[in-house]
Amino acid sequence: MRKVYLDNTATTPLLPEVREAMMPYLGDIFGNPSSLHDWGDGAREAIEAARDQVAQLIGANTDEMIFTGSGTESNNLAIKGLALAQQNKGKHVVVSAIEHFSVLHSARTLAKWGFEVSEVPVNKYGVVDPDDVRRNLRNDTILVSIMHANGEVGTIEPIKEIAVVTRERKIPFHIDAVATAGTIPVNVSELDVDALSLAGNQFYGPKGVGALWVRKGVRIIPLLDGGIQEGGKRAGTENVLAIVGLGKAAELAKAHITERIEQLIPLRDRLLKELSDRIEHVVVTGHPHNRLPGHASFCVEFIEGESMLMLLNSKGIAVSSGSACTSRALKASHVLIAMGLSHEIAQGSILFTLGIDNTNQDIDYVLEVMPSIVDRLRDMSPLYAKFTKTSKGGK
């Protein structure tokens, strides 16, 4: 059976070059980077080389980069660490309504600690309006955090314009760039932000490693206390192997970003257009064109995402969904609800996230398989039965 992996937002595969770069650190180069002997030197040099590679990916200074254990950890460190460091100036934090849970739930934890949190709404495409950010700022606002792009609907946010607002008021601005760093060009000077989270498994690096960049001069309180690894901002013996992989993946992403984007956009646009053409009552979610290059997301009306996902899986196609049934908590995606979609429509959420291994033949296969899966589930659906009866009755 044909196998088509279209869940690159969950994780990308590891590039062979990245795996090669990591191999020595599973073998001879096993030292602890904090050790002062030759064994330690080898590991330390590897980490510092990776730090440089990751810094170059986002146009940052090497010594402003903190390695972490994931994008989630980077976001936790940013939200809690930046807020705690500024709390003598105020206790108000602004985030958007469609942030990843690692930001939203960190903000909720801050609220339990006595901070106040405002959530900025989004429009029907999932776009944050910089004026809405401005309206939510107060004299005691000490942190703004908005994602660069949303991994569920693909929409890219107007970060530069929001940075103008935060810069005027001298409020630290963090962006969650997990969906964008290594995928589209990201430059911290151009964006004019103060902190940025990224993760290795979004651009063909290993899982379980991320980084947080914090502009020099912006204070942050560490979440993990212990030794003075990562400039004292993240204690604990470094995951040398994964950090080396992250560095190599960053170097490759920087070198190939344009060709990767040029490969992905036509495939994405084919899927967005032809799936909506071939199947009735399908809504594209997220911004129609200002979206991540490999991201095609939909809501298919009258049916539910998990059952679509499972039938696609039985045909060898991997996708994901934001339906309530797919989430462990059995709640519909907060992103789709914030964009104003009904629970009923949000239940039909399905997302195809393309990667550099995908081809036009993969898209052909999805377009061939998908309509019959939808038909089959609609034949079973009481909502579709009601719809067809009323629409016939209407005629």
Which position among 188, 241, 275, 303 is part of the footprint of other proteins (CB under 8 A)? Answer: 303
Residue 214: strand pairing partners: 195
* Least CB distance to other proteins at residue 1 (A): 14
Least distance from C-beta 315 to other proteins, angstroms? 11
Q: How many residues bind other proteins (CB under 8 A)?
A: 27
What secondary structure letter does DSSP report for 187?
-
- Which residues ranging from 263 to 302 are in contact with other proteins (CB under 8 A)? 302
Of 147-155, 236-244, 264-272, 341-349, the segment contacting other proteins by CB under 8 A is 341-349
**Cβ proximity to other proteins, 180 vs 333, nearer residue:** 333
CA-wise closest residue to 195 among 218, 179, 178, 226:
218
Judged by CB, which is closer to other proteins: 71, or 322? 322
The catalytic site residues sit at 325
Q: Is 314 in the site for other proteins (CB under 8 A)?
A: yes
Helix (H) or strand (E) holding 346: helix 343-346
Q: Are 210 and 200 in contact (CB under 8 A)?
A: yes
Task: Pick the binder of other proteins from 344, 357, 368, 375 (CB under 8 A).
Answer: 344
Of 65-73, 76-84, 256-264, 327-335, the segment contacting other proteins by CB under 8 A is 327-335
CB of 303 to other proteins, least distance (A): 7
Structure tokens at 206: 């290993």
Residues in the chain: 395
Whole-angstrom Cα distance, residue 369 to residue 361? 12
Residue recorded with tokens 């908005």? 146
Give the other-Cβ count within 10 Å of 17's Cβ.
Answer: 14
CB of 331 to other proteins, least distance (A): 9
Please answer whether residues 140 and 110 qualify as being in contact, where contact means their C-beta atoms are separated by less than 8 angstroms.
Answer: no
- 177's tokens: 């760039």
167, 343, 361, 368: residue in contact with other proteins (rule CB under 8 A): 343
Contact code string over 97-136 relative to other proteins, x by CB under 8 A: ----------------------------------------
Task: Using DSSP, state whether 248 is helix, strand or coil.
Answer: helix
Binding to other proteins, residues 349-388 (CB under 8 A) = 379-385
Choices 174-182, 196-204, 284-292, 317-325; region in contact with other proteins by CB under 8 A: 317-325
Piece of 6-14, 55-63, 182-190, 329-337 that binds other proteins (CB under 8 A): 329-337
* CA atoms of 281 and 384, how far apart (whole Å): 11
State which residue, 7 or 194, has the beta carbon closest to other proteins: 7
Cβ distance to other proteins smaller for residue 6 or 43: 6
H or E segment and range at residue 300: strand 295-300
Classify each residue of 376-390 as buried b or exposed e, where b means 16 or more C-beta atoms within 10 Å of its C-beta. ebbeebeebeeeeee
CA angle 296/303/8 to nearest 5° reads 30
In 10 A of CB 253, how many CB atoms?
24
Q: CA 120, 124, 127, 132 torsion: positive or negative? A: negative
CB of 305 to other proteins, least distance (A): 8
The footprint of other proteins on residues 1-40 (CB under 8 A) is none
The binding site for other proteins (CB under 8 A) comprises 302-304, 306-307, 310-311, 313-314, 323-326, 328-330, 332, 343-344, 347, 379-385
